[in-house]
């Protein structure tokens, strides 16, 4: 959709139409609402000033890019947002040539822009990457690594800082805005160059010094000093909902042909009064009634996150050495209630997974018992810190891994499929998984006493009620839930146990069922004993097959020179797309029905 010929009135009407489309679809499908509504005019400004056919549009996290999708030939297809087989909730090049990069994790955008700008310079192309990044993403170190190089190379990149939640630097009214625009404008820039030439000719040393000091004195009363010190020009703050102001500012920024930060103030949930001013509640939502704002699926049972948080809170009340951290997900991980109750012992460090892990390693060194509470997908961002700062030192840090396994509509960037494969290779790491509410309590009690690094994984949603009573965790010990006279055994790990039980019930065959409990260390004694009577082994775990649970068991038997018939129902060597869990498991061939069919029920 080419919007460059539209009038201001037509653009305002279009912004309302885009918001209505977003509200209509997200209220039915769920998705990222408030951030997308707040970014509409900024995205329209990007399309009005930059050439979408030639210049990369780079959205940080990209959860706010719905307006971009609607402006790039996906208006009708947008109704399939986040649905199985439909369009993604994030930018995705396979979906559209106008999506520059796959994105779903924060703070990568400026690095991508630096790489693009380097490529354009090498190819002698006059193109300007444009970035949109939210203020929350500015808490991650990767942003400053990229800004540091960008400011040094002076490559032409325009970065729109979408400030929709907290002020990066407090604005000083109209004087600040006027001076910021003045310093970035063409008139000032031409004047500055002329003055520098004159002073350089007649007084090379003192003249340049005086000119520089004068400009720095003006910038001291603007809110962009930090960016200026890193070598990036700064404009703002501007009204992120005023299309004319946005377009005028972006044109200035693009014409400067160097790194420019455009600081735009926006309102989350703009245009949907119910969501305006709210933050986490309306950030990522499930289906809701658009007319009332009431959510359609009210949680009636405790999910795994609730069970985890309640049990950790009880432990924290009786053990003041327990501390904990989350990285920008206090509500999603259940850590909000611990932060509220013990603000001096539990922290949200924003989008800074690396810092979160290393800071907890230091606390463990000084005698505390830290819990790093994190989604499986975000654990990836702190892998080096786990290797270098936790496991190498053999420090008793607990990694509570939420959203392990398929999480659904957020897709490839958010599926919790790699944590077992990542962590199992690390010396000193202990890995175990609860199967129900009771065993979650046992898992945390065990973790509290363990004096080495450990990881507990649990799925999104609620545990199923199982017809077996879970035993307490004892290091490296599994639990045989059901014996059988046949030579077939189902081995489950974590949420895989309930699936193993469901398949066993579905095929109505006598099979043994083992709750592995620990994938590291394995219960070798029990597994070797069972190998004598069971030759057909089937592994159930919501995790990647390569380096996963089946791999661990195969390696153990191979070490003892034993050969068994083993099949694992873990994930194939692929990135899992978005969609509901049932559809995805059917596609992967690991749903209860698909597995049951293999046994010829």
Active site residues: 268, 353, 381
> Does the CA dihedral 493-495-498-503 come out positive or negative?
negative
Helix (H, G, I), strand (E, B) or coil at 257: coil
DSSP symbol at 132: E
Parallel/antiparallel/unpaired status of strands 536-540 and 130-134: unpaired
* 68 vs 99: CA distance, rounded Å: 9
**Residue 404 token pair:** 């392990």
Question: Which helix (H) or strand (E) segment is 477 a member of?
Answer: none
> With 0-12 CB in 10 A as exposed, 13-18 as middle and 19+ as buried, what is 566?
middle
**Residue 484 token pair:** 């059988």
* 371 vs 388: CA distance, rounded Å: 17
* 456 vs 541: CA distance, rounded Å: 14
* 437 vs 304: CA distance, rounded Å: 7
**Residue 329 token pair:** 């997900």
**Residue 400 token pair:** 């509570």
Q: Looking at the DSSP assignment, which residues form a beta bridge with residue 373?
A: 400
DSSP symbol at 90: S
Please, which residues have CB within 8 angstroms of residue 111's CB and are 6 or more apart in sequence? 142, 145, 146
Tell me whether the omega of the peptide bond preceding residue 544 falls within 30 degrees of 0, making it cis.
no
* 290 vs 262: CA distance, rounded Å: 33
Closest CA to 32 of 578, 583, 419, 587: 578
CA 192 to each of CA 183, 260, 262: distance values in angstroms, whole numbers, following the listed order: 9, 17, 21
Half-sphere exposure of 278 (CA within 13 A, CB side): 17
**Residue 549 token pair:** 């649970």
């Amino acid at each position: 959709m080419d919007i460059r010929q539209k009038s201001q009135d037509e653009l305002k009407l279009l912004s309302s139409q885009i918001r209505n489309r977003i509200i209509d679809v997200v209220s039915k499908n769920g998705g990222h609402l408030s951030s997308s509504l707040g970014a509409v005019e900024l995205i329209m400004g990007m399309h009005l000033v930059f050439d979408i056919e030639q210049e990369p549009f780079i959205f940080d996290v990209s959860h706010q890019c719905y307006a971009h999708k609607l402006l790039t030939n996906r208006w009708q297809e947008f109704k399939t947002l986040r649905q199985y087989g439909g369009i993604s909730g994030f930018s995705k090049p396979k979906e559209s040539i106008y999506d520059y990069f796959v994105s779903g994790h924060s703070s990568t955008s400026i690095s991508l822009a630096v790489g693009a700008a380097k490529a354009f310079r090498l190819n002698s192309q006059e193109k300007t990457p444009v970035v949109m990044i939210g203020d929350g993403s500015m808490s991650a170190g990767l942003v400053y690594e990229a800004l540091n190089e960008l400011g040094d190379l002076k490559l032409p990149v325009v970065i729109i800082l979408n400030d929709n939640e907290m002020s990066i630097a407090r604005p000083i009214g109209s004087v600040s805005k006027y001076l910021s625009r003045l310093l970035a404008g063409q008139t000032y820039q031409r004047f500055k160059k002329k003055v520098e030439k004159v002073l350089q000719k007649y007084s090379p040393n003192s003249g340049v010094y005086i000119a520089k000091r004068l400009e720095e004195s003006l910038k001291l009363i603007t809110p962009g000093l930090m960016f200026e010190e890193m070598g990036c020009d700064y404009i703002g703050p501007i009204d992120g909902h005023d299309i004319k102001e946005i377009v005028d500012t972006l044109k200035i920024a693009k014409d400067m042909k160097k790194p420019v930060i455009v600081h735009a103030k926006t309102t989350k949930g703009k245009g949907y009064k119910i969501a305006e001013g709210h933050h986490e509640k309306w950030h990522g939502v499930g289906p809701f009634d658009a007319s009332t704002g009431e959510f359609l699926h009210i949680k009636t049972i405790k999910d795994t996150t609730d069970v985890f948080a309640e049990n950790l809170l009880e432990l924290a009340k009786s053990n003041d050495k327990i501390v904990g951290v989350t990285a920008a997900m206090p509500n999603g991980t259940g850590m909000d209630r611990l932060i509220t109750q013990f603000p001096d012992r539990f922290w949200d460090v924003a989008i800074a997974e690396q810092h979160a892990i290393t800071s907890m390693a230091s606390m463990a060194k000084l005698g505390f018992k830290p819990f790093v509470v994190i989604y499986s997908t975000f654990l990836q961002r702190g892998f080096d810190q786990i290797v270098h700062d936790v496991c190498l030192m053999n420090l008793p840090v607990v990694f509570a891994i939420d959203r392990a396994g398929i999480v659904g509509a957020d897709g490839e960037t958010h599926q919790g499929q790699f944590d077992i494969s990542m962590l199992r290779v690390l010396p000193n790491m202990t890995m175990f998984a609860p199967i129900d509410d009771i065993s979650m309590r046992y898992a945390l009690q065990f973790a509290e006493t363990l004096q080495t690094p450990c990881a507990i994984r649990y799925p999104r949603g609620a545990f199923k009620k199982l017809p077996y009573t879970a035993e307490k965790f004892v290091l490296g010990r599994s639990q045989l839930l059901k014996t059988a006279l046949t030579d077939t055994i189902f081995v489950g790990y974590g949420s895989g146990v309930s699936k193993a039980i469901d398949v066993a019930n579905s095929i109505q065959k006598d099979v043994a069922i083992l709750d592995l409990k620990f994938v590291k260390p394995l219960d070798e004694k029990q597994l070797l004993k069972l190998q004598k009577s069971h030759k057909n082994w089937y592994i159930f775990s919501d995790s990647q097959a390569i380096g996963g649970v089946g791999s661990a068991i195969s390696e153990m038997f191979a070490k003892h020179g034993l050969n068994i018939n083993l099949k694992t129902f873990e994930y194939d060597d692929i990135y899992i797309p978005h969609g509901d869990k049932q559809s995805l498991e059917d596609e992967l061939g690991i749903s209860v029905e698909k597995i049951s069919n293999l046994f010829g029920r």
